[in-house]
Structures are given as C-alpha cells and as structure tokens.
Amino acid sequence: MSEREIRCYSGEVRAETHDSEPSRIIGYGSVFDSRSELIFGSFREIIRPGAFDEVLNDDVRALFNHDPNFILGRRSAGTLALTVDERGLRYDITAPET
C-alpha cells in the first residue's frame, strides 16, 4: 500500500460567474519549479513538469480542504477539468449549486 501525503500551498484561486452559467472555480493545484515552504523543518520540495502526466485521465475529485465529504467537482461527472501548462497543474471546477 502506498502512503499518501497532502501538501498545501497558497496560490491564487478565482471564482467566475457569468449570467446564466454555473459559477466556476479556477486555479492551480500545483506550480512547477517553485520551492515549497520548509517541510517537516528539514527539506523543500520542487514539483517538476511531467509529475502529473500519468494521472490526468484518472477519476480525480476536487475536495474542499482535502475532505472527501466535500466534493466540489469530479472528472467522471464532468465538473472538474485538469490541464497542465507551462506554469503547472490547472483546475477548472464547475461549482456545485450550494
């Protein structure tokens, strides 16, 4: 069994609302080639381009505060789009009507 680690960074998140369309939440889940804050007081992490290539087609869920009880979007439901560009891993969530 593999261990999963959750890391956070503060980045820009944007909410877009257009007349009759659902609201969207857009931002970057990870930014490439940027040093992280100090982790466990001993090292820093850098995410390289290509790090997400193998998971882009998985059934990824976008969660509020990493809590599986609060799903904001999901690839299989068509409410989460993930793309990789020169900056990093970009998400575009069609926000739930809550």
Task: Tell me whether residue 1 is in a domain.
Answer: no
Task: Tell me whether residue 5 is in a domain.
Answer: no
Q: What is the mean predicted confidence (pLDDT) over 20-37?
A: 87
pLDDT, tens digit, for every residue of 41-75?
Answer: 888 888 999 999 988 889 999 998 889 999 999 99
User: What value does the CA radius of gyration of the chain take, rounded to a whole number of Å?
Assistant: 15
Q: How far apart are CA 52 and CA 49, in angstroms?
A: 8
Place of tokens 């989460």: 80
For the chain, first and last CA: distance in Å?
A: 35
Q: How far apart are CA 19 and CA 10, in angstroms?
A: 29
Task: Tell me whether residue 7 is in a domain.
Answer: no
Single pTM value for the model: 0.77
Q: How far apart are CA 38 and CA 45, in angstroms?
A: 8
> How many domains is the chain partitioned into structurally?
1
40: containing domain? 13-94
